[in-house]
Amino acid sequence: MSEHYFSVEPESPVRYADVTVRAWGHELVLRSASGVFSYGRLDLGTRVLLRSAQPDPAARSVLDLGSGYGVLAAALGLALPAAWVYAVDVNARALELTRANLAAHGLDNRAQVSTPAAVPPAVKLDEIWSNPPIRIGKPAVHELLLSWLPRLAPTGRAVVVIGRNLGADSYQRWLVDEGWSCERIASAKGFRVLEIRSSTGDLSP
């Protein structure tokens, strides 16, 4: 079976490469590694996401969903100095990199980097940011989104980027059918940036 960036324990030999990322007025130097999404580069989807939307300065609890080597987690931590950052991934190598990259930027004292199951169920999030792992398949992505979107605070939002050729428009329709407000806030380089909110402003069960 071939190895994917969403493998839990990558077995390939580790190769490292530093990536310079400019995000929301900050320049970050982040270490990436083989076996983790977007090794040696900032992927185009995340670049579009960073250019198309900005975090709410009032946000105090934010999530990088599918952190990879921690681009969004680090960018959110620097942009929101009063926020607690959660970063989750299933890939052990990705989590190791995210921890190291947050520590390198002085953010490890207000972040939790973990598998999804380790985030306490009672946590409410002001914002979720994600370049979701679309290649795990549509049913799995549906399950992923439906497990995290209800954790948004009543006025919270999720901002996600999805390739048009990977079904962005069908995901938007599906989210609306599921009862969420889902607005396309940007479209560039073959990607859609979607802002997802509760359609009622009330996310309680």
Residue 114 lies in a domain: yes
Answer whether residue 4 shows pLDDT above 60: no
Main-chain dihedrals φ then ψ at residue 186, nearest 5 degrees: -165, 155
Rounded CA-CA distance 98/89 in Å is 9
Q: Residue 161 — very low, low, confident or very high, per pLDDT cuts 50/70/90?
A: very high
Residue 163 lies in a domain: yes
Give the total number of structural domains in the chain.
1
Q: How far is CA 195 from the centre of its chain?
A: 13
Residue 205 lies in a domain: no
Residue 190 lies in a domain: yes
Residue 123 lies in a domain: yes
- Which residue is associated with the tokens 């990436």? 32
- Which CATH number covers residue 86? 3.40.50.150
Q: What is the mean pLDDT of the chain?
A: 93
Residue 89 lies in a domain: yes
Q: Supply the pLDDT for residue 199.
A: 80
Give the range of the structural domain holding residue 182, as residue numbers without chain letter.
16-198
Residue 10 lies in a domain: no
Q: pLDDT (tens digit, 9 = 90+) per residue, 39-58?
A: 999 999 999 999 999 999 99
Q: Supply the pLDDT for residue 125.
A: 98
Q: Supply the pLDDT for residue 13.
A: 83
Q: How far is CA 19 from the centre of its chain?
A: 17
Residue 193 lies in a domain: yes
pTM: 0.92
Helices (H), the chain: 44-52, 71-79, 92-104, 138-148, 168-177
Average pLDDT of the residues in 74-92? 97
- Which residue is associated with the tokens 């960036």? 5
Radius of gyration of the chain (CA): 16
Q: Supply the pLDDT for residue 202.
A: 57
